[in-house]
């Protein structure tokens, strides 16, 4: 008896996808499928493990090296652990709905084993089959891929279980049968063509950041008159830009307002935190979160209300470095500040009342800005100028203190 061989039977991993161009599809897959299709980048960089690995894994490592950076000795590798913890926190519900991971971008090096017709006419949905042993490489989202491997290798470490991970669906895009040069180009485009978000702007978007939360509370607690209407000051706060343009209707950026909040809490130590996350457990000694909110929010709300004309005119007071310096001065009125240099709110008001807030070189050149040959001011950053502005506000008899007061 001779056995007849099966025909038209294709083995492999099946994925439901939708093409979005002739050589690329999008879809979702399970965590077990991802870790099966894409070997762990961490394992592929371990010489000892690679030496004992199969020829297929070694060939995959060689191909990966042509289109990816290494994890070792790079910030990318250091991000894997925190990324895994972030994903775990999201899966466990600790972050609510405010968490997300981007789709993983994969490269299928070679033709597909099979691609079905549309599952439902007109839907675009198809089933593709990835044959066993096919080279699939993450050309974008590899840090996330490594984090998923870490989670799946030891879910208990992160407070998860295998059944919980098996239920997760991961979005992906898959590029099929591209030449290595094309895959490298996609890697380049994804990592270089985009514009990185400035750190302090990104921080102002972080709703888990304590400084950002208080900045929103301050903006929402102030009511101002605009064109005869009483509106929340938050309407005049731009949350999407690092710097305002001439045509913007807002008067200050959220990142600048956050600088005011953070330096009010920490004093000069807040300058270094302008681009760093602030958590409640990291507040200064003697400061409790409830007390900080109860004192800082109304103090800054009063400052904005009393000096709204300076904000409305987008004077020097709205410049990030000047707001940071002003926050340092506010810090000296709070009960957790150094008792030796503490001042009253009345004393702070007197210090601020004498300042010339016009954006003119006569007052701010050499303090918060530098004037060019034509006299135009270029204001410095928070770390460059915030401390100098604070000293000028707090010590009127100094050279810079006299300068910003027009003497």
> Per-residue pLDDT tens for 157-176?
999 999 999 999 999 999 99
Q: What pLDDT score does 1 carry? A: 65
Residue 390, domain member (yes or no)? yes
Using the CB atoms, write b or e for 119-157: b if 16+ within 10 Å.
eeeeeeebebbbeeebbbbbbbbbbbbbbbbbbbeebee
> Under DSSP, is residue 189 helix (H, G, I), strand (E, B) or coil?
helix
Residue 211, domain member (yes or no)? yes
Q: What pLDDT score does 262 carry? A: 96
Nearest to 239 by CA among 255, 215, 260: 255
Q: What's the CA gap between 265 and 261, in Å, rounded? A: 6
Residue 7, domain member (yes or no)? no
pTM for the model stands at: 0.69
Residue 5, domain member (yes or no)? no
Residues spanned by the domain of 339:
201-403
DSSP-derived letter for residue 120 is S
User: Which of 136, 163, 194 is the last residue before a domain boundary?
Assistant: 194
Q: Mark whether 383 and 248 lie in a shared domain.
A: yes
* 359 Cβ contact partners less than 8 Å away, ≥ 6 residues apart: 315, 316, 319, 369, 377
Q: Mark whether 30 and 89 lie in a shared domain.
A: yes
Q: What pLDDT score does 54 carry? A: 83
Q: What pLDDT score does 326 carry? A: 97
Q: Mark whether 148 and 260 lie in a shared domain.
A: no
User: Which of 154, 176, 194 is the last residue before a domain boundary?
Assistant: 194
The answer to whether 253 touches 320, Cβ cutoff 8 Å, is yes
Residue 4, domain member (yes or no)? no
Q: Mark whether 189 and 206 lie in a shared domain.
A: no
The answer to whether 221 touches 228, Cβ cutoff 8 Å, is no
Q: Mark whether 141 and 233 lie in a shared domain.
A: no
Residues found in the chain: 407
Q: Mark whether 84 and 142 lie in a shared domain.
A: yes
> Under DSSP, is residue 299 helix (H, G, I), strand (E, B) or coil?
helix
Q: What's the CA gap between 256 and 262, in Å, rounded? A: 10
Residue 180, domain member (yes or no)? yes
Q: What pLDDT score does 308 carry? A: 94
Residues of the chain with pLDDT under 70: 1, 5-9, 73-74, 194-205
Residue 78, domain member (yes or no)? yes
What one-character-per-residue DSSP string does 334-360 give? Answer: STTS-GGG---HHHHHHHHHT---S--
Q: What secondary structure, in 3-state letters, does 234-292 show? A: HHHEECCCCCCCCCCCCCEEHHHHHHHHHHHHHHHHHCCCCCCCCCHHHCCCCCCHHHH
Q: What's the CA gap between 96 and 99, in Å, rounded? A: 7
Domain count of the chain? 2
Q: Mark whether 151 and 257 lie in a shared domain.
A: no
Q: What pLDDT score does 243 carry? A: 82
Q: What's the CA gap between 34 and 171, in Å, rounded? A: 10
User: Which of 167, 194, 221 is the last residue before a domain boundary?
Assistant: 194
The continuous run of DSSP H or E covering 396 comes out as none
CA atoms within 13 A on the CB side of 366: 8
Q: Mark whether 268 and 391 lie in a shared domain.
A: yes
Quick one: tokens of 25? 């599809």
Q: What pLDDT score does 201 carry? A: 62
Q: Mark whether 389 and 294 lie in a shared domain.
A: yes
Q: Mark whether 45 and 152 lie in a shared domain.
A: yes
Other Cβ atoms less than 10 A from the Cβ of 37: the count is 22
Q: What's the CA gap between 331 and 328, in Å, rounded? A: 5
Q: Mark whether 53 and 113 lie in a shared domain.
A: yes
Q: What's the CA gap between 381 and 386, in Å, rounded? A: 7
Residue 1, domain member (yes or no)? no
* 162 Cβ contact partners less than 8 Å away, ≥ 6 residues apart: 152, 155
Q: What pLDDT score does 372 carry? A: 85
Q: Mark whether 66 and 167 lie in a shared domain.
A: yes
């Amino acid at each position: 008896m001779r056995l007849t061989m099966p025909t038209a039977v294709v083995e492999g991993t099946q994925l439901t996808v939708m093409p979005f161009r002739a050589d690329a599809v999008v879809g979702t897959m399970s965590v077990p499928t991802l870790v099966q299709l894409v070997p762990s980048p961490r394992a592929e960089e371990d010489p000892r493990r690679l030496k004992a690995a199969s020829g297929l894994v070694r060939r995959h490592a060689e191909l990966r090296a042509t289109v990816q950076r290494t994890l070792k000795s790079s910030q990318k590798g250091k991000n894997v652990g925190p990324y895994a913890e972030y994903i775990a926190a999201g899966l466990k519900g600790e972050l609510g709905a405010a968490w997300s991971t981007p789709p993983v971008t994969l490269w299928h090096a070679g033709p597909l084993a099979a691609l079905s017709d549309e599952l439902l006419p007109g839907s675009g949905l198809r089933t593709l089959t990835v044959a066993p042993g096919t080279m699939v490489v993450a050309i974008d989202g590899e840090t996330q891929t490594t984090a998923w491997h870490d989670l799946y290798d030891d879910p208990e470490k992160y407070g998860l279980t295998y059944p919980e991970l098996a239920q997760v669906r991961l979005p992906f895009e898959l590029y099929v049968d591209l030449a290595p040069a094309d895959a490298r180009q996609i890697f380049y485009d994804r990592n270089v063509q985009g514009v990185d978000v400035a750190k302090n702007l990104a921080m102002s978007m972080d709703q888990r950041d304590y400084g950002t939360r208080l900045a929103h509370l301050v903006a929402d607690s102030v009511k101002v008159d605009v064109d005869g209407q009483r509106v929340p000051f938050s309407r005049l706060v731009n949350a999407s830009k690092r710097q305002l343009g001439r045509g913007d209707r807002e008067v200050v950026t959220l990142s600048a307002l956050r600088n005011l909040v953070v330096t009010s809490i920490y004093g000069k130590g807040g300058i270094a935190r302008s681009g760093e996350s602030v958590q409640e457990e990291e507040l200064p000694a003697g400061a409790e979160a409830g007390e900080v909110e109860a004192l800082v929010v109304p103090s800054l709300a009063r400052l904005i209300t009393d000096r709204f004309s300076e904000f409305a005119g987008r004077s020097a007071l709205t410049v990030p470095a000047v707001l940071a310096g002003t926050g340092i001065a506010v810090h000296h009125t709070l009960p957790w500040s150094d008792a030796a240099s503490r001042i009253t709110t009345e004393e702070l008001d007197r210090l601020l009342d004498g300042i010339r807030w016009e954006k003119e070189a006569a007052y701010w050149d050499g303090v918060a800005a530098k004037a060019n040959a034509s006299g135009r001011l270029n204001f410095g950053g928070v770390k460059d100028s915030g401390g100098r502005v604070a000293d000028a506000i707090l010590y009127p008899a100094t050279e810079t203190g006299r300068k910003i007061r027009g003497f």
